[in-house]
Every structure is written in C-alpha cells, then in structure tokens.
Copies of this chain bind each other. A is one copy, B any other.
Amino acid sequence: MTQPVEELHRDDVTTGMDLPEGVLVELIGAIADRDPTLIRQLLAPLHPADIADLIEQLSWDQQRLLAELDASLLTGEVLAEIGYDTRAGLFDLLETQQIVDALDGLDSDDKTMVVEELEPDVREAVLAAVSAEDREHLEASLAFEEETAGRLMQREFVAAPQFWTVGHTIDHMRLAGEELPDLFFEVFIVDEGFRPIGAVPVSRLMRSQRETPLSELMELAKITIRPEDDQEDAAYLFEKYHLISAPVVDDSGRLKGMLTVDDIVDVIQEENKEDLLALAGVNEAGLADTVWESVKSRAPWLLVNLGTAVLASLVIALFDQAIAQLVALAVLMPIVASMGGNAGTQSLAVAVRALATRDLTGANSLRFVWREAAAGLVNGVIFAVIMGIIAAVWFQEPDLGWVIAVAMVINLAIAGLAGVLVPLGLKHFGADPAVASSVFVTTVTDVVGFVVFLGLGALVLL
C-alpha cells in the first residue's frame, strides 16, 4: 500500500469507511458477466478486510465463479481476513500452488493461521511446496496445541544486546531490511544467552540520541510468555499490563518469537464470543451460516435441557394430587421457578465474567460466594413480599401468599449460591466455567422451586 505521491491532499484519499453502498451489487454483476477486469477494478482500491467482507456476502456459487475467474484476487491478506467457514470452502477451489503463492508475503503468524485450517492432505502438499525455512517454522508452530501462544507467535522480531547504542541499532535495522517483521513496536534486549532482559519501545529509540546505549532506554522485561501458554492467559497479560508486544521464550529462556496486540484483540473477541454463546447453550459453530449447522450447534444443549425439564416434571408429578385439589398451585408454580432461574442466571453471568477477567480468584471466592448468596436472599425477601401479597389477593387465600413467599426466598438464595458455585466447581474440575453451567443452574432452581413451593403448598394448604 506504499504509494509515492507528488503532493497529496486529504480530499485525494478515499477512506475505508466510504465503502460504496453499491459495490456488492456491482461485484455480483461483474461475476455474473464473468468480467475479471471489472472485478479487479472494483476491488483494487479496497482494503483486504473490506474485500474479505464482500466475498463473505457472496453466495457459494458466486464465490466459486470468482475463484475461477481470477484466483489471484484471493491474496494471502484477503484470505487471512475471511471467516473460518468461508475460507475452508475457498481452499477447496484453489490449487496447492495458488495457496502457496497466497501465503507468500504473510507474516509467520498469519501463515500458521491459514495453514492450520487446511485439510490434512492439502496441508501436507502445501508444506512440501513452501520454502525449507517456512516449512521448518510452520511445522514448529503446528507442533504446539491449538489456542496456545505458540500458534499465535510471530517468528520475525528485532533483538539487540544491551551494550548496543541507538545509532548502532538503527544502522543494523536499515541493513537487515527484509528480514525484519513488517511492523514491530519494541526492540527486545537480550543477554548473552539470547534471553530477553528488557525492551525498548521503537518510539523511544527514535527520539533518543544516537550515542545512547540501549541499556539506558530499556524497560525491564517483566513479562515473558511461553509457547505452550494458553492464548487466553497471554491475552490477560496484554490487557493487564497494556502490552503492545511481548517476547515468547523456550524452555531455556531463549527468545523465540513475539506476540503482538493485534492478534490478541482477535483472541479477546474469540474468547468473549465463546463465553457468551456457551452461557446461552450454543456450541462452537454458533455463527455458522447454514440451517443444518445451526441445528447441530443448538441441538445438543436442547437435548440436555429436555432431560432437565423432564426431571422437573417428574418432581411436579409427585404432587399431582395436590395440584388436582388446588389448581392455584399449578398456576403459580412457574413464577417461583422463573424467578429462581433469572436470579441464578444473573449470578452466573457475573461469576463467569469475573472468572474471565480474573477478578474472581481463589483468594476472594469465599467473599464472592457469600455476596451472591446474600444478594439472592435480599432480592428473595423483596420479591417474596410482593408476590406473597399478589398471590394472597388473587386467590383470596393468605396461606397461599405465605407459601409462595417462603418458596421465593429459599429459591432465590439457592439461585445466588448455585450461580457462583456451579462455574467455580466446573473450573475446579478443569472444565470451561461458561459451558453447561446455565443448564446446571436452572435445573437447580427449577427443582428447588417446584419441590419447595408444591411441598409447602401440600403441607400447609391441604
């Protein structure tokens, strides 16, 4: 995108935000007309991220036709921006050599991201066709587990010994040229064992005098990341310490690569998406495009929910005599369950969020549990009073008011407890605290709500 210009004014610059409304329609027309020249004209001024957005909005047939007309439009930068599902489809259309060409020019972390998604046989073919150096790096990255820092890590970085001066470092970088990463934000300072001891932000380097030694400019390398670290843990460190980049070191402490904040932004979004969808009982492929994939991503948790709903019904069935004698119990019982479910979901969301941001740790979990149970209890009392009065007036039966009030207090206090204890328990046993916890919590509140309300009702009112 570098572009030498004689004298440029603001008005000469098209902005990405001005992506013309009609460009998608024009692109679809150009594809239908099989006009690669027009397609290139339309896409040329656009940012790869915008081209990727457009391609994602095409139908599968249009995507196929586009790839046939001019596969070179699918550059590495565009492919890297396209969502997982669409990208997998596009790869099926490309020759091995076309994929290899697309990889060329990407930084090593983006290469890994693209290659890790290829089908095993295509991946083998691509690995065989890239340069020996790329192959070695890719195989080393792919040896780390998915969602680890090793997969995200970029192998291009800039490192210098502490005794170098600013001038020496700048001269070195001017000579190194192509070997440096496309963008970097810090020069890592290493000791004689190539272990990071500090970092100098590039902006600080640039405004210092040439004779200044790096040791005077550096901040100590408080944070190092290991390739096997979970990407979520790396993201937490970036957030907490406001990092822009961070060194990744191997077992012996040697600097092997770096993570940069732009990849971390993607990780944060990914992890947040997973939490939100997991809480709602949607499996990973939740944003997939087809009806069938949507069904598959929802059905498992619906099945679990059916099981727990039937369990709740079995509880109700225990009290069928009571209900037959006093239908008011059947009319009111969903209120107790619903309020408990809601209060439990509230506590659960707060707890899952606090776990994700490490605000809920072993140290304060007792206080947290106590607070949620207490908040549930207080809200239980408030809504017990309201609902007790409503029930007593509605059915002209004060005892019914007392029964629903007591059931409400108990269920909301239990809801607050379950909302925290379930995710803490899941985490304790090494499971994701967001997955499955909703179902557990609402099962607890349903069963407790029905048992307490119907049981008390049978005892007191009949």
Mask: chain A, 198-214; 1 = CB below 8 Å from B; 0 = not = 10011111111100010
Chain B nearest CB, measured from A186 CB (Å): 9
Decide if A459 is an interface residue (CB 8 Å cutoff): no
Is the pair A291, B375 in contact by a Cβ cutoff of 8 Å? yes
Q: Which residues of B contact A221 (CB under 8 A)?
A: 13, 15
Partner of A327, one of B287, B320, B350: B320
Chain B nearest CB, measured from A13 CB (Å): 5
Chain B nearest CB, measured from A236 CB (Å): 10
Q: Which residues of B contact A266 (CB under 8 A)?
A: 239
CA distance A158 to B206 in the complex (A): 12
Mask: chain A, 96-124; 1 = CB below 8 Å from B; 0 = not = 00000000000000000000000000000
Decide if A135 is an interface residue (CB 8 Å cutoff): no
For A9, give the chain B residue with the smallest CB separation. B191
Chain B nearest CB, measured from A266 CB (Å): 8
CA distance A294 to B266 in the complex (A): 31
Given A298-B379, A305-B342, A348 and B280 touching (CB < 8 A)? Answer: yes
Is the pair B332, A287 in contact by a Cβ cutoff of 8 Å? no
Is the pair A2, B244 in contact by a Cβ cutoff of 8 Å? no
Q: Which residues of B contact A223 (CB under 8 A)?
A: 15-17
Decide if A462 is an interface residue (CB 8 Å cutoff): no
Is the pair B287, A354 in contact by a Cβ cutoff of 8 Å? yes
Q: Which residues of B contact A207 (CB under 8 A)?
A: 170, 173-174, 176-177, 180
Is the pair B197, A13 in contact by a Cβ cutoff of 8 Å? yes
Copies of this chain, complex-wide, total: 2
Is the pair A301, B49 in contact by a Cβ cutoff of 8 Å? no
Q: Which residues of B contact A240 (CB under 8 A)?
A: 49
CA distance A197 to B242 in the complex (A): 28
Mask: chain A, 271-300; 1 = CB below 8 Å from B; 0 = not = 011011101111000110111101100110
Decide if A386 is an interface residue (CB 8 Å cutoff): yes
Is the pair A47, B222 in contact by a Cβ cutoff of 8 Å? yes
Q: Spot the interface stretch: A66-74, A143-151, A308-316, A425-433.
A: A308-316
Chain B nearest CB, measured from A305 CB (Å): 5
Is the pair B302, A339 in contact by a Cβ cutoff of 8 Å? yes
Chain B nearest CB, measured from A277 CB (Å): 6
Decide if A218 is an interface residue (CB 8 Å cutoff): yes
Decide if A317 is an interface residue (CB 8 Å cutoff): yes
Q: Which residues of B contact A16 (CB under 8 A)?
A: 222-223, 237, 241
Q: Which residues of B contact A298 (CB under 8 A)?
A: 343, 346, 375, 379
Decide if A253 is an interface residue (CB 8 Å cutoff): yes
Decide if A387 is an interface residue (CB 8 Å cutoff): yes
Decide if A165 is an interface residue (CB 8 Å cutoff): no
Q: Which residues of B contact A287 (CB under 8 A)?
A: 350, 353-354, 359
Partner of A334, one of B197, B265, B309: B309
CA distance A282 to B287 in the complex (A): 25
Q: Which residues of B contact A440 (CB under 8 A)?
A: none
CA distance A242 to B363 in the complex (A): 37
Decide if A33 is an interface residue (CB 8 Å cutoff): no
CA distance A287 to B375 in the complex (A): 12
Q: Report A330-350 residues with CB < 8 Å from chain B CB.
A: 330-335, 337-339, 342-343, 345-346, 348-350
CA distance A358 to B239 in the complex (A): 23
A selection of 17 A-B contacts at a CB cut-off of 8 Å is A12-B197, A14-B220, A15-B223, A174-B207, A183-B244, A202-B202, A261-B262, A286-B353, A290-B371, A298-B379, A302-B339, A303-B386, A306-B386, A306-B387, A313-B334, A320-B327, A330-B333
Instruction: Given A313-B334, A316-B331, output 6 extra A-B contacts at Cβ < 8 Å.
Output: A272-B276, A279-B349, A298-B346, A302-B379, A306-B383, A320-B331
Q: Which residues of A contact B (CB under 8 A)?
A: 1-10, 12-17, 24, 47, 49, 57, 158, 162-163, 170, 173-174, 176-177, 180-181, 183-185, 191-193, 195-198, 201-209, 213, 215-224, 237-244, 253, 261-262, 264-266, 268-269, 272-273, 275-277, 279-282, 286-287, 289-292, 294-295, 298-299, 301-303, 305-306, 308-310, 312-313, 316-317, 320, 323-324, 327-328, 330-335, 337-339, 342-343, 345-346, 348-350, 352-354, 357, 359, 363-364, 371-372, 374-375, 378-379, 382-383, 386-387, 390, 442, 446
Closest 4 CB pairs of A and B: A280-B349, A10-B195, A294-B375, A330-B330
